Chain A
Amino acid sequence: MEDLKNLVICPRCGSLHKRIKLSSPKESARCWRCNKLLYRGYKGLEYQLLSFTFTALILFTLANLFPIVEIDIGGGVKSRMVLLEALLFLYKQGFLFISLFGLLVLEVFPLITILSLFLFSLFVVLGTHKEGAKKALIVAGRLSEWNMLDIFFISILVAMVKIYEYAYIDFGVAFWSMAFFVGIEIYLFRYIKLSQMWDLWEQKF
C-alpha cells in the first residue's frame, strides 16, 4: 500500500505523481503532463509566514484606525472615510444586508484568516499544538475564500475616478496599509498557497 503522504494529484489535469523531496528553495515540482506547478521547495517557510502574518496584523489595525481617504470639495467642506464608520452609516440608513455583508467580507473574515495563519505559523515554529495548528489552518482556508478586501481596494480607486473632477482627494495612511495588507494576502494565498502550508504541517508534526 502506497503512503498517501507521498502522492500528489495535479489540480489541473488530475495526473498522479510520486512526491520527491526538493533540496533547494529554488526548485519546484511540476506536472509531467500539463506542466502545472505542484509544490515548491521552501526553506523555513514557517518563519516567513510568521513575519508576513504579523506585519499583516499591524497593517490591518492601521487600515481600520485611520481614514482611508479624505476629500475636499472646496470652501473648506471636507469629508473622510473610515471603513467601520462607513459600514455603520450604511446600517443606520437601513441597509442591513449590505452593511452586514461588508462587515463580514471586509473586516471579520480577513482578520480571522490572518490571525489563524499567524497562530498556525507560531505553533509550527514552536513545534507544539499539533491539533491547534491544524484547526487554525482549517479556519484560514475556509474563510480565505470570503476575503474581499482586494476587490474593495480596487473599488476605492473606481469611486475616486468618479469624483476626482469635483473634489480634491487625499489618500490616508489606511489606504496604503490596506494596499500592503492586500499584497500580503495575495502572496500568501495565490503564490505560497494553502496546499503548501498543509504540506508544511504534515512535515513538521
Chain B
Amino acid sequence: MKYKRCLHCGAVNYYQDEVCRRCEGDIRLDKKRAISTSLAFLLSAIFFYIPANLFPILNTSKFAQTQGSTIIGGVIELWKEGDYPVAIIIFLASVLIPIIKFFVLFYLLYAVYKGSCESGKVKLYHIMEIMGPWSLIDVFVVMVLVGLIHFNSVSVIPGVGATSFALMVLFTILSAKALDPRLIGEECE
C-alpha cells in the first residue's frame, strides 16, 4: 500500500501521511482510536435508548388535563384505533431500527477489530451513515407540533423522552462517524 484516500476531500495522499495535502484534514488510520471512540459513543446511545422509550416524547394538554405519550404508547394507541400501517411504520422507525443500528454497529466494530474485509460491509456502513440522522424525524415532528399547537384549549409540550431520543440518535451518528470505513474497505488487506 503506497497511497490512501482522504475521507474529507477525496485527495490521494501517501500512505504514511497524517494530514491531507489538499484540505489539511486528519487522515490517520488509527484502528485503536476508531474502535474505542466509536464504542464509547455506541454505549452512550444505548444508554439513552432506555429513557427515550420509557418517558413520554410529547405531552398533550387539553383543558388543563395533561396526557403524556411514549413512543410505544403511541404505537399501541394507533394499533387499537385500527391505523395499522402508521402504527407499523412508527414502530419500525423509532423502536426497531435503533436496535438494528446498535447491532450493525457492533458487527462493524468487530469487523474493524478483526480486520475482515468485504465490500458488503462497506456498503452496510454507508447505508448506516445515510440512514442514521433520519431517526431524528420523531424529534423534529415533536418540534413542529409544539411550534404549531399552543392554543388555549389544547397545546403540545415536548416530553423528557424527546431529549433522550435526540441524544440517542446523536450518539449513534457520532459512533458511525468515528468508525473509519477505510478500515473495512480499501485499506484492509
> Which residue of A87, A97, A142, A161 contacts B166 across the interface (Cβ within 8 Å)?
A97
Take A89-B146, A90-B146 as given contacts and tell me if A138 and B162 are in contact as well, using a CB distance cutoff of 8 Å: no
Asked if B22 is at the interface (CB within 8 A of a chain A CB), the reply is: yes
The B148-169 residues at the A interface (CB cut-off 8 A) are 148-151, 153, 157-158, 162-163, 166-167
B10 touches A194 (CB 8 A): yes
A14 touches B145 (CB 8 A): no
A148 touches B186 (CB 8 A): no
Main SS of the interface on chain A? helix
Chain B contact residue count (CB 8 A cutoff)? 47
Mark the stretch among B32-40, B97-105, B106-114, B131-139 that contacts chain A.
Answer: B131-139
A134 touches B11 (CB 8 A): no
Give chain A's interface residue range (CB within 8 Å of chain B). Answer: 35 or more
Asked if B24 is at the interface (CB within 8 A of a chain A CB), the reply is: yes
B143 touches A97 (CB 8 A): no
Take A11-B5, A14-B186, A89-B147 as given contacts and tell me if A198 and B162 are in contact as well, using a CB distance cutoff of 8 Å: no
A159 touches B151 (CB 8 A): no
Within the complex, what minimum Cβ distance (angstroms) separates B116 from chain A?
15
Chain B 156-189, CB-CB to A under 8 Å as 1, else 0, gives: 0110001100110010000001000010011100
Asked if B14 is at the interface (CB within 8 A of a chain A CB), the reply is: yes
A159 touches B12 (CB 8 A): no
> Which residue of B14, B144, B157 contacts A93 across the interface (Cβ within 8 Å)?
B157
Q: Across the interface, which residues of B come within 8 angstroms of A7, CB to CB?
A: 3, 12
Within the complex, what minimum Cβ distance (angstroms) separates A135 from chain B?
9
The complex places the Cα of A105 from the Cα of B166 at a distance, in Å, of 12
Chain A 121-137, CB-CB to B under 8 Å as 1, else 0, gives: 00000000000001001
Asked if B21 is at the interface (CB within 8 A of a chain A CB), the reply is: yes
B162 touches A141 (CB 8 A): no
Sampled A-B contacts (14; CB under 8 Å): A4-B12, A9-B12, A69-B148, A71-B149, A73-B151, A83-B147, A86-B144, A90-B158, A98-B158, A148-B140, A159-B145, A194-B8, A198-B10, A199-B10
Chain A residues within 8 Å of B, Cβ to Cβ: 4, 7-14, 16, 34, 69, 71, 73, 77, 79-81, 83, 85-87, 89-90, 93, 95, 97-98, 101-102, 134, 137-138, 141-142, 145, 148, 151-152, 154-156, 158-159, 161-163, 194-195, 198-199, 201-202
Chain B residues within 8 Å of A, Cβ to Cβ: 3-5, 8-14, 21-25, 86, 119, 122, 133-134, 136-137, 139-141, 143-151, 153, 157-158, 162-163, 166-167, 170, 177, 182, 185-187
